[in-house]
Amino acid sequence: MKNKKTAKKVILKSEKEWPLMPMSLGSMLYNKTGAWRNIRPILDLKDCIQCGICWKFCPDVAIYIEDEWPVIDYDYCKGCGLCAEECPKDCITMVEEEK
Amino acid sequence: MSEGLHHHGGGGKMKKVIMGNHALSYGGMLGRAQVIAAYPITPQTQVVELLSEMCADKVLDAKFIKVESEHSAMAACIGASLAGARTYTATSAQGLTLMHELLHWASGGRLPVVMGNINRAMAPGWSIWSDQNDSLSQRDTGWIQFYCASNQEVLDTVIQAFKVSEKLLIPSMVILDAFTLSHTYEVVDIPEQDKVDEYLPPFNPPIRLTTDEPRAFGGITFPEHYYELRYKLQKDMEKVPALIEETGKEYEKMFGRYLGDVDAHRCDDADLILITSGTMGYTARVGVDELRKEGIKAGNLRIKVFRPFPFETVLKIVKGAQKVAVVDRNISYGHHGIFYQEVKSALYGESDGLPLFGFIAGLGGRDITPSDFKDIAHYVLGKDKPEERIVWIGVKK
Amino acid sequence: MKKEKEKKMKISLPEVELMHPGHMACQGCGATLAMRFALKALGPKTALCIPACCWSVIDGPFPHTSLDVPIFHCAFETAASSASGLKAGLEMVGDTETTVVAWAGDGGTFDIGIQALSGTAERNDDVLYICYDNEAYMNTGIQRSSATPYGAWTTTTPVKHFKERPKKDMVAIMAAHHIPYVATASIGYPEDLVKKVKKAKDIRGTKFLHIYAPCPTGWKCRPEDTIKLSRMVVQNAVFPLYEIEDSDKYTLNIKVSAKKPIDEYLQIQGRFSHLTAEEIAYMQKEVDKKWEKLLSLIN
């Protein structure tokens, strides 16, 4: 997977920089969809059985696995609540996003 | 039909008596088309039938996708071209117009699809006879358009079209009249395959769809980006005339025939120039020769490349004349014949005093004869300037 | 707060991610999960033909993309025909490895794209056609398609004139084309989905996969219910999971011994909230009928 930290928005200035036909030149990783959230998931690993369900069902690939444990990437999480709903051990709670 | 397949490419010059449609097939074969996706429509069927046989006989190494409509034909050609394959197809009238959405796609996608189109009148009522409205109503889609008047021209143009299209990444259509060319048998000099290979190297686009470099092609493009893409297409279209000349000279060197963007017959000292296109351009020659015998200094300018429009060539040739008459086998309803409109726009500001007469003839395949051209010439000579916007030839009143 | 344990995370799907975050999908979008799972099965040697549909937007606008596989954004009706052409082109330039996948919504499959799909299938072109079904033209604002089920509200089937025609049986239509593989899948059963995509990928010829993919925006349900719906729809046999191989071998993949009534399924979707008890009873009967018919075909 592309490096999330270095992904930059592609800015085109002169027509000479345009490709001939519309084709992608960069990745949507620059787009931090975390800004869409109204509610955010809080993960408490106390009861986590490492079943992988939260990782599996995230439509935004915003839960990744680090050292065998799930981690939520708040840069991209849109707050859909699927992880909280599907977790068999209720490890995830949705709380109001503080802005 | 199959007897023609015993002699293909390689070794020894070959002249064959073939129909216009088969000239299109030979063009695709010699051009080494790699993917052909086509749907039958009268009067194009022989093009694809011969191409199917050539593929089956392994004379042409190509995948022939027997699609279920012309819309799918163009879609498949676009997909194949995006993968980097040389693509070819042929159609006519209803089929061409069914592809309309995708014609824009091919040009905007900068995909050098080459297509033969048999000019056939648009329904309703059903007509299988010659008329240019089908191809001319696609004139805004960003395709290069060639209008041919002989089977030799068809074959030569297809080969050159591949070269021009692939260099500038703009699709081309090679157009011929229904029956008067598609089904007319003429002697054609079929170039040798290895010489064509020398002239036309394999298609090698700078960008193609590949998993080696995954990209998304053709996604949503906001106003901040769309404009420059289209600017670039027009800029490249403007390079086409010079490239046609260059590749034309190269072709002439190798095969002895120069195509060019127009075919001017006795225009140098002409007082009256008839502007035509397609097979009626050859009929006009006969008319011109007969007028000359009458002492009328007539000339015929047959336009071969319609898009991009050859402004400079046309101007150069008509400037010396005293009157110009454009004969259109088409009409843009609510306006005028389309070649007339384009010639007029070329003359504006350059030759404003030059009287320009516009005639409509031959819609739906009604025959245009040398005598019609003589009548046109006499009519024009009898007037200082046009009195009617459009003059209709041969309408039964 | 991490716990120190030697236990490993249970991963029931391939770990590889070919879709990255930052894409434009709505919260809880079923279509994105369908893509994520499919790509895990397909791997990087994949090219997608995506006609006009939600995924035309989800991937992100020029000049960016969200996927690590090449995409050809094609005209609406042309998912299958573009894929046929792309496959032929790739093979002619020497690439026989890349799997060409037509990835279309229900509109581009059941309606405007059906001709091209039928053509591709009749020719048995080597294309994997995946339809992710959110049961309406969602990308253009929730208008009905022939995949919209009986009883659903959409913007073109308002409550007073809700959709009365049944959902088109696309699987039966595809099976009638005598293609090697036709199957249904649901994002609620990702392991089954991945298995089917992998299986289809290795078959030469036209393969058709119909994936159930809820749309919270269009179905007026909670985004967090997407997976729950995708399980219920199998458990109540509204969308059974089965395969048809070589047009006559029917296999039921998720056995449903006692299918659940459809009431709870309908209740959590706002698009069905207007239905009367009578209409729901009618729908239940139709589901029962279809289920019996399918069971009779299972080998």
> How confident is the model over B80-101, as pLDDT tens digits?
999 999 999 999 999 999 999 9
CA A4 – CA B259 distance, rounded (Å): 55
Mutate to test the interface with B, among C92, C100, C103 (most CBs of B within 10 A): C92
Residue C92 to chain B, least CA–CA distance (Å): 6
**What is the total residue count of chain A?**
99
Residue B230 to chain A, least CA–CA distance (Å): 9
CB B166 within 8 A of CB B112: yes
Supply the pLDDT for residue A6: 77
> How confident is the model over C236-280, as pLDDT tens digits?
999 999 999 999 999 999 999 899 999 999 999 999 999 999 999
Cβ–Cβ gap B83/C89 under 8 Å: yes
* Residue B257 pLDDT exceeds 60: yes
What's phi and psi for C289, nearest 5 deg?
-60, -50
Instruction: Classify strands A39-43 and A92-96 as parallel, antiparallel or unpaired.
Output: antiparallel
CA nearest neighbour of B119 among B21, B18, B27: B21
Residue C232 host element (H or E): helix C226-235
Supply the pLDDT for residue A94: 97
User: B262-392 maps to which CATH number?
Assistant: 3.40.50.920
Give chain A's domains with CATH numbers. Answer: 32-96 (3.30.70.20)
Give chain C's domains with CATH numbers. Answer: 30-297 (3.40.50.970)
In chain C, the percentage of residues whose pLDDT exceeds 70 is 98
CA torsion sign for C35, C36, C41, C45 is: positive
Query: Domain segments of chain B: what residues?
Result: 14-201+222-255, 262-392
Q: How confident is the model at residue B351 (pLDDT cuts 50, 70, 90)?
A: confident
Mean pLDDT, rounded, of chain C: 96
- Angstrom CA distances, B34 to B62, B195, C96, stand at 4, 18, 15
Cβ–Cβ gap B76/C46 under 8 Å: no
CA nearest neighbour of B306 among B159, B173, B116, B196: B173
Supply the pLDDT for residue B352: 77
Q: How confident is the model at residue C177 (pLDDT cuts 50, 70, 90)?
A: very high
Write out the two tokens for B230: 């289209």
Supply the pLDDT for residue A5: 66
Q: What is the distance of C-alpha C174 from the center of its chain? A: 14
**Residue A3's CB: how many other CB atoms inside 10 A?**
8
Q: What is the mean pLDDT of residues B33-42?
A: 97
> How confident is the model over B102-161, as pLDDT tens digits?
999 999 999 999 999 999 999 999 999 999 999 999 999 999 999 999 999 999 999 999
Supply the pLDDT for residue B11: 34
> How confident is the model over A24-52, as pLDDT tens digits?
999 999 999 999 999 999 999 999 999 99
Mean pLDDT, rounded, of chain B: 95
Q: How confident is the model at residue A99 (pLDDT cuts 50, 70, 90)?
A: low
User: CB-CB: which of A12, A18, A22 is closest to B218?
Assistant: A22
Q: What is the pTM of this model?
A: 0.96
User: CB-CB: which of A15, A20, A24 is closest to B215?
Assistant: A24
Mutate to test the interface with A, among C12, C23, C24, C187 (most CBs of A within 10 A): C23
User: CB-CB: which of B35, B67, B218 is closest to C89?
Assistant: B35
Residue A9 to chain B, least CA–CA distance (Å): 14
Alpha-helical runs (H) found in B31-144: 45-56, 70-82, 93-98, 100-108, 133-136
Selected residues 9-48 of chain A with any CB under 8 Å from a CB in chain C: 9-10, 12, 19, 22-33, 36, 44-46, 48
Supply the pLDDT for residue C3: 55
- A13 by Cβ neighbours in 10 Å (0-12 / 13-18 / 19+) ranks as exposed
Q: What is the mean pLDDT of residues B183-203?
A: 97
Domains B14-201+222-255 and B262-392 share a fold: yes
User: B14-201+222-255 maps to which CATH number?
Assistant: 3.40.50.970
Q: How confident is the model at residue C4 (pLDDT cuts 50, 70, 90)?
A: low
Residue A56 to chain B, least CA–CA distance (Å): 24
* Residue B8 pLDDT exceeds 60: no
Supply the pLDDT for residue B6: 41
CB B47 within 8 A of CB B21: yes
Supply the pLDDT for residue B4: 43
CA C212 – CA C207 distance, rounded (Å): 17
B→A contacts (Cβ < 8 Å), by residue, are: 108-111, 169, 207, 215-219, 221, 225-226, 228-229, 231-232, 236
Angle at C164 between CA C158 and CA C167, to 5 degrees: 110
* Residue B13 pLDDT exceeds 90: no
Cβ–Cβ gap C60/A31 under 8 Å: yes
